[in-house]
Amino acid sequence: MADRPTLTTTAGAPISDNQNSRTAGERGPVLLDDYQLLEKLAHQNRERIPERVVHAKGWGAYGTLKITGDISRYTKAKVLQPGAETPLLLRFSTVAGELGAADAERDVRGFALKFYTSEGNWDLVGNNTPVFFVRDPLKFPDFIHTQKRHPRTNMRSATAMWDFWSLSPESLHQVTILMSDRGLPVAPMYMNGYGSHTYSFWNDSGERFWVKFHFKTQQGHRFYTNAEAEALIGKSRETYQEELFGGIERGEFSKWTVQVQVMTEAEAERTSYNPFDLTKVWPHGEFPPIEIGVMELNRNADNYFAEIEQAAFSPSNVVPGIGHSPDKMLQARVFSYADAHRYRLGTHYEALPVNQPKCPVHHYHKDGQMNFFGQKTGNVDAYYEPNSFSGAAEQPSAKEPPLKLSGDADRYNHRLGNDDYGQVTALFNLFDAGQRSRLFSNIAAAMDGVPGEIIERQLVHFARIHPEYEAGVRAALKVAHGYEASAISQEEKGVAAE
Ligand code: NDP
Ligand code: HEM
């Protein structure tokens, strides 16, 4: 026993016996002064924290971003300068499943990055898809409700999903990717990551550029069919954790090529689509991806809970040279994540080692629960601003250039003047016969039990993307569920005119 560390209470006192409670007599009841027992039970009761309201099931690892290209004319961010090497944390996730969900489930995958830069943490909280289901944040909580459990049955509801999607045609792009091969990757290293939103770059001269981030897998795309995933889940629910954790333990380090698309402010005035619309991509032909570096995952966390479960990513974390954009989804996210972290992890979640910036931090926020670091202003007498005691001071060089805005404050109908079909047609045209056939059967499988009027409403949208899309899903529905079209008028289908 001599070479083992001494077991102690949380207050550091040695524990003499960790196997036998303190009782009144050999056969007697436990005594209330057995504080080791009380402490042990009390801690067990507090082991769980709220799971993330979305993206609860996840897998993560540390790595490095190396910049090989030169985009210094677009951004002053030190993390993106030629030759820069920055440590990072990457957490992958599924969206809808709870903490114990099986890994190989069809769902969008989260791709959340935290870069520990010398100018503060930069978080790029993206997905494995370049677009999203909705373009207005007012619709996000309702959308998520359709992905979670029905309040009465406590089961997930295909009816709710397709009802919402068929009434929200802006979702077609993301739904098509979700139901395609890319909706069920074999493991995190076999998929791309996308920042998805339009962000901005700004340079030393105060010029602003719009930018989209892409992380292209160097392992190649690999996917499971529904049948393969069903067979697999019967054997293991943790296939992503096994592949990611096991691979790194074996010294197999996954890599992604990092690319950006850049658009000038003038070009943004001329695109046929809204470049800040999260349901759209920027076509590569118009805005060619520029290769800027490589990202590698090479180190596992030592403690999953401390470092992956307690990791807190937020689109509000940007650094000088990188900014947001007029994408209204992004503004909502700038609020939502830090708010979620304060609830899920506590006020000082950024003081947890995994979230701590790897650069000096000075601010005038004071006190609060679990504050073990005091107040960081650089001088104990400087606990307010302005002060005469050399407390931390603002840094004007970090000022972002002004953002031009115009227009009247109003609630604008985001459906008007927005083509929800064209880019989905471009995607559908990329699919070969096998990809199309799997798309159709995946959709048919996901529509099991959905009422005919909702199916018909969704089929009208598929027809607008491509006649083959509608015909293919209709045929697959017949094979899967014996589904036959009911005589429902366009009006009854509740589909708005194109
Ligand atoms: P391109 O042909 O230049 O780009 C096609 C893109 O589609 C590539 O990035 C490719 O990713 C990706 N892709 C290929 N097969 C699939 C698939 N089965 N599922 C999902 N993505 C796939 O054309 P455009 O840039 O004009 O885009 C055409 C359509 O491609 C878009 O409407 C969009 O749906 C989709 N797309 C476009 C992206 C973009 O940023 N422009 C990004 C991702 C998808 P990879 O190289 O990794 O194979
Ligand atoms: C997680 C809100 C859209 C990617 C979360 C969480 C919230 C949230 C509250 C849980 C955070 C936590 O507890 O740590 C929202 C809102 C959105 C939105 C309000 C829209 C208005 C998006 C979009 C993407 C995205 C568009 C991707 C492009 C993620 C990812 C996570 C996440 C990857 C998990 C982060 C992690 O690994 O910890 N979201 N989200 N979300 N979201 Fe969103």
pLDDT digits (tens, 9 = 90+) for 405-422: 999 999 999 988 899 999
Q: In Å, how far from its chain's centre is CA 173?
A: 18
Is the pLDDT confidence value at 491 over 90?
Answer: no
Binding-site positions = 337
Binding-site positions for heme = 337
Is the pLDDT confidence value at 494 over 70?
Answer: no
363-381: average pLDDT: 93
**What percent of the chain clears pLDDT 70, i.e. is strictly above it?**
97
Q: Is 181 in the pocket of ligand 1 (CB under 6 A)?
A: yes
pLDDT at position 281, please? 98
Q: Is 422 in the pocket of ligand 1 (CB under 6 A)?
A: no
**318 CA from centroid of ligand 2 (Å):** 16
487-497: average pLDDT: 61
pLDDT at position 493, please? 62
What pTM did the predictor assign? 0.96
Catalytic choice (45, 121, 127, 387): 127
The domain 58-351 having CATH identifier 2.40.180.10: the answer here is yes
pLDDT tens track for 306-337: 999 999 999 999 999 999 999 999 999 999 99
Distance CA 422, CA 402 (A): 33
pLDDT at position 492, please? 58
Q: Which of 427, 439, 466, 469 to mutate to test the pocket of ligand 1 (most atoms within 8 A of CB)?
A: 427
Is the pLDDT confidence value at 83 over 90?
Answer: yes
Residue 375: partners with Cβ closer than 8 Å, 6 or more residues away: 364, 365, 366, 367, 383
Q: What residues does 14 pair with on adjacent strands?
A: 8
Is the pLDDT confidence value at 496 over 80?
Answer: no
User: Across all residues in the chain, what is the average pLDDT?
Assistant: 96
Distance CA 75, CA 73 (A): 6
Is the pLDDT confidence value at 376 over 90?
Answer: no
**219 CA from centroid of ligand 2 (Å):** 26
102-106: average pLDDT: 98
**From the alpha carbon of 173, which atom of ligand 1 is closest?**
34
Distance CA 225, CA 186 (A): 9
pLDDT at position 417, please? 86
- Annotated active-site residue 481? The verdict is no
447-470: average pLDDT: 98
Catalytic choice (18, 43, 55, 203): 55
Distance CA 375, CA 383 (A): 7
Q: Where are the domains of the chain?
A: 58-351, 431-496
C-beta separation of 106 from 318 below 8 A: no
Question: What interface predicted TM-score (ipTM) does this complex get?
Answer: 0.97
- Annotated active-site residue 418? The verdict is no
Is the pLDDT confidence value at 211 over 70?
Answer: yes
**270 CA from centroid of ligand 1 (Å):** 22
